Structure 1
């Protein structure tokens, strides 16, 4: 998530590593942020993105900007290139220097005003990648499986790490402060807004996925890599999308979401909120006294007026305005994205997600002035107890699976439209119960495969695309899936993870086998490992299939060329969870498209009954086969 331990941070400040930015060393105070450099300084100053130790994007014009006194002449020099401008009436200035090729030699960027000179040291030219999403993208390398080895090996002087501070509000921010930001979740301060050279000390609290991604690209190309982490835990996709883009999406789901937040903001009364908080404080104090418990001597009722939902991080557009807008203008190579958990809390959240996600990608590309900007999508992570044969159907009714499907379908839609700069990496095969599954290194490796193959000319050396479905053949008593490449179970057992259904929409686990095409000279069957046949005695006329349809799915089908790329979450039906209720209960939900608690319980009970039905049938078959 963030970078640097508290002790290392003080050492860095004392050593004065941040040329061009002055900071007063003030003791960190629990529960409070410490701002070292304001978002916009007085006199001649650079935007806070520009620091010693940063990476500038190669092969694109180099944009540098900041503020000065109105009318002040500002000259920027980098290497042998120089450009001058004059600060506008609002103090803003901006220059654009010619593009430079990748260069790992540390150089100096100099900004000269009328009376002030700013010199940045150790500036590299390479590729800058943006990390977006929520906590599974933030999740630190120090907390993942295999993280210790990664940390002690993280001596890469040409990888640079940066974390965007968390800000709030609907109005686009022009910059951000350099700060030590307090986290209630972690009960500690995190250093944000600073560029750091990648070392075992600085990498510990960096995004695990982002670091592994950067490491692989740098090791393969030797190009300097800058990673900007703009992810934020607990956020929804709509907060990362510009409000003007959301307003242009004319669907009931998006309009309802915007109206809901508009009503929240309009209804909020800061004084009433304060009065309510004071009342709750007094009630809590009285309760402690009545219970004979000690009342803290320093306890005091709240006195501050809070901004309320207007500044909520999940208000539509807020994170874009406060965390993406401040860095717009910086040239970057591309972005990778890992988010979806919070949208899965909403019934049919995938519908809004499908409407917003491609628009968000387009908006980010437009913001960074690159309509073909590379954008890597990482699928929805796992959560909950792993699905198994005994409860496969019961665990199919989960909104998170549909969000994962939107991730994959969005990638497919861009691909079918001829856009080869949108990539995809699965993360559903981790088989971990926590919603922060700690197997992040393979995920970073997979998205790095996509980038290296498609953006760095290594397609012949590296495979990144998982086995893909070419054709679905509905045949008598079976469904045959034709893949574009051989696939097989990673554990040498039977192929797991497929269900099939007939016209009634009632699924059952399928027996999945490779298609037998011939026999060899020893009369042994020859199998086509690009074709998978799905059957079930409980589904005599199958029409529909699903694969890996669980939040923490039972699925073991992967590529067979040692690349560890799982066959994606896939299906050929279009039933929602509400549709499944209708298929199993024989009636529509009371509220169209949404299940209440009773209806959800009824669906779970029906799915559990069909799981049991299959288990009994399989047990009888096994007994019969053994003459019992």
Structure 2
């Protein structure tokens, strides 16, 4: 019996070692992915320390090799040609992985809160967060196999994560309903006018402030952002105290129920944690860091509602977010186009001014103005077609050579 147990343990140890030794890839590097054309893209993963990983792309003849470091991390940079496909990628170490149906095209990261998360199709029990105008007409026409979207799983993390969960979906009437509506209409217009494949990475979460999407050290280094961190730290202290009180109430409840199984007393409610999607840097850790260094064309951003009560601070916070993301991706001139939030009874004009000032002072940014398409009674206006179109106008004019495209109204600079 003892020998049997030892053999079983040895087998499990060997199995565990073999699994760890296998070449593995992040969720982003998978079937149906889109890689940035005419670039040198990063491909990475994990393997046994010291293992050589050979990457072969079907669009070029020469394989690229890397050696896993002491922690098992490896990374290669592969040149890409002009848009096209489908192609395959092979990753070979002690095992072999094949990624199929890969396109070379344009890759845009789409991030922010609920108005960017807002899906094409209406979802049950979602309130006004989903379902675009003319959904019944939009969905059947969404036959665009060269448009793909990767939706990042909502993840709160205390420390930076190395991977996320999600998969690439090829745009069709069967899949488009789950797409971010703004991102989809942006991609549809860019694709129709340039014929380029478009990859969209949707990393969004409703009700979130900008600081949730920023790196911890960026917030710590600027005195202007210390109130954000102090408020969060106070929340952690309060939560710890509430948690202890909850444990005592829970123990008392269990004792009472054991003594009287028919008690009508309700169980105590657990406290809401300070570690939420509104906490500073938690979404950066869980939903942005795992995407780096996936090579991008640019960023689309629709957020600001949850910073409207601190609009003056947003004048500094938003540019800091843009700067830090560009640094992280090592793309200092990466286009960053955002939506100026529409007027609403719960939003003041100061937040729109902060967004305008960002466009005027931060290079390679553009702002889609939707003042004329807002809904004073609904903070989630359903006409996302207009929003996607106006973001696309910026990209077409600034990134795709269509100089005659009208992308902005008249503006003045101080």
Partner of 1:374: 335
Compute the displacement of 1:271 (Å). 4.3
- Could you say which residue in structure 2 is the equivalent of 1:182? none
2:93 pairs, out of 113, 133, 158, with: 113
Deviation for aligned residue 1:89: 1.7
Shift of 1:147: 2.4
Q: Which has the higher contact order (CA 8 A, sep 6+)?
A: 2
* Deviation of the 1:276 alpha carbon: 6.7
Once residues 123 and 277 of structure 1 are traced to their aligned partners in structure 2, the CA distance between those partners, rounded to angstroms, is: 55
RMSD: 2.6
Aligned to 1:438: 382
* Cα distance in 1, alignment partners of residues 202 and 339 from structure 2: 15
Q: Are 1:272 and 2:244 counterparts?
A: yes
Shift of 1:301: 6.6
| CA-CA distance at 1:278 after TM superposition | 3.3
1:314 to 270, 278, 291: 278
Gaps of 5+ in 1: 1-39, 178-192, 385-397, 472-628
Encode CA deviations 1:492-543: one digit per residue, 9 max, x unaligned. xxxxxxxxxxxxxxxxxxxxxxxxxxxxxxxxxxxxxxxxxxxxxxxxxxxx
1:311-340 alpha-carbon deviations (Å, 9 max, x no partner): 322211111111110101100000011111
Where do residues 314-353 of structure 1 align in structure 2 (5 Å cutoff)?
A: 314-344=278-308, 346=309, 349-353=310-314
Task: Identify if the C-alpha distance between structure 1 residues 276 and 425 changes in structure 2 by more than 3 Å, giving closer, same or farther.
Answer: farther
Which residue of 393, 398, 409 corresponds with 1:466?
A: 409
Give me the whole-angstrom Cα distance separating, in 1, the residues matched to 2:342 and 2:97: 44
Q: 1:361 is matched with which residue: 322, 327, 340?
A: 322
Does the 8 Å contact 1:340/1:403 carry over to 2?
Answer: yes
Higher share of residues assigned helix? 2
In structure 2, do the counterparts of structure 1 residues 429 and 86 end up closer, same or farther at CA, with 3 Å as the change threshold?
Answer: same
Maintained 8 Å contact 1:60/1:100? yes
Indicate the residue corresponding to 1:567 in structure 2: none
Which structure 2 residues correspond to residues 174-185 of structure 1 after superposition, within 5 A? 174-177=162-165
Match of 1:135 in 2: 114
Q: Is the 8 A contact 1:77 1:109 kept in 2?
A: yes
Q: Distance in 2 between matches of 1:199 and 1:157?
A: 7
Q: What SS class does the counterpart of residue 394 from structure 2 fall into? A: helix
CA distance in 2 between partners of 1:172 and 1:403 (Å): 29
- SS of the equivalent of 1:46 reads coil
User: 2:116 matched to 1:144?
Assistant: no
Identify if the C-alpha distance between structure 1 residues 135 and 274 changes in structure 2 by more than 3 Å, giving closer, same or farther.
Answer: same
TM-score, normalised with respect to structure 2: 0.85
In the TM superposition, residue 469 of structure 1 has moved relative to its aligned partner by 3.6
Find the aligned partners of 1:145 and 1:280 in 2 and give their Cα distance. 52
Q: How does 1:442-521 map to 2 (within 5 A)?
A: 442-460=386-404, 462-469=405-412
C-alpha separation in 2, matches of 1:447 and 1:276: 53
Instruction: Report what 1:165 is aligned to.
Output: 153
Helix, strand or coil: the match of 1:126? strand
Output the CA distance in 2 between the equivalents of 1:49 and 1:277.
44
Contact 1:382 1:437 in 2 (8 A): no
Q: Give distance in 2, aligned partners of 1:219 and 1:281.
A: 62
Moved more, 273-282 or 434-443: 273-282
Q: Distance in 1 between matches of 2:253 and 2:182?
A: 42
Q: Deviations over 1:542-566 (max 9, x none)?
A: xxxxxxxxxxxxxxxxxxxxxxxxx
Indicate if the aligned counterparts of 1:213 and 1:444 stay in contact, CA closer than 8 A.
Answer: yes
* Offset, 1:146: 2.1
What residue number does 1:233 align with? 206
Taking a change above 3 Å as real, the CA distance of residues 53 and 295 of structure 1, as seen in their structure-2 partners, is: farther
The 2-side partners of 1:176 and 1:277 are apart by: 36
Bigger radius of gyration, 1 or 2?
1
The number of equivalent residue pairs is 378
Partner of 1:130: helix, strand, or coil?
A: strand
Q: Distance in 1 between matches of 2:334 and 2:245?
A: 44
Q: Which runs of 5+ in 2 are unaligned?
A: 1-18, 122-130
SS in 2 for 1:319: helix
Query: CA contact under 8 A between 2:239 and 2:271: conserved in structure 1?
Result: no
TM-score w.r.t. the length of structure 1 is: 0.57
Output aligned runs, 1:10-49, within 5 Å.
43-49=22-28
CA distance in 2, matches of 1:71, 1:268: 44
| Corresponding position of 1:204 | 177
Equivalent residue for 1:102, pick from 83, 91, 97: 83
* CA displacement at 1:404 relative to structure 2: 1.3
Q: 1:249–1:355: 8 Å Cα contact kept in structure 2?
A: no
Q: Tell me the distance in 1 between the aligned counterparts of 2:369 and 2:386.
A: 10
Alpha-carbon offset, residue 279 of structure 1? 8.3
The 1:466–1:295 alpha-carbon spacing in structure 2 relative to 1, beyond 3 Å, is farther
Q: Counterpart of 2:366 in 1: which secondary structure?
A: strand
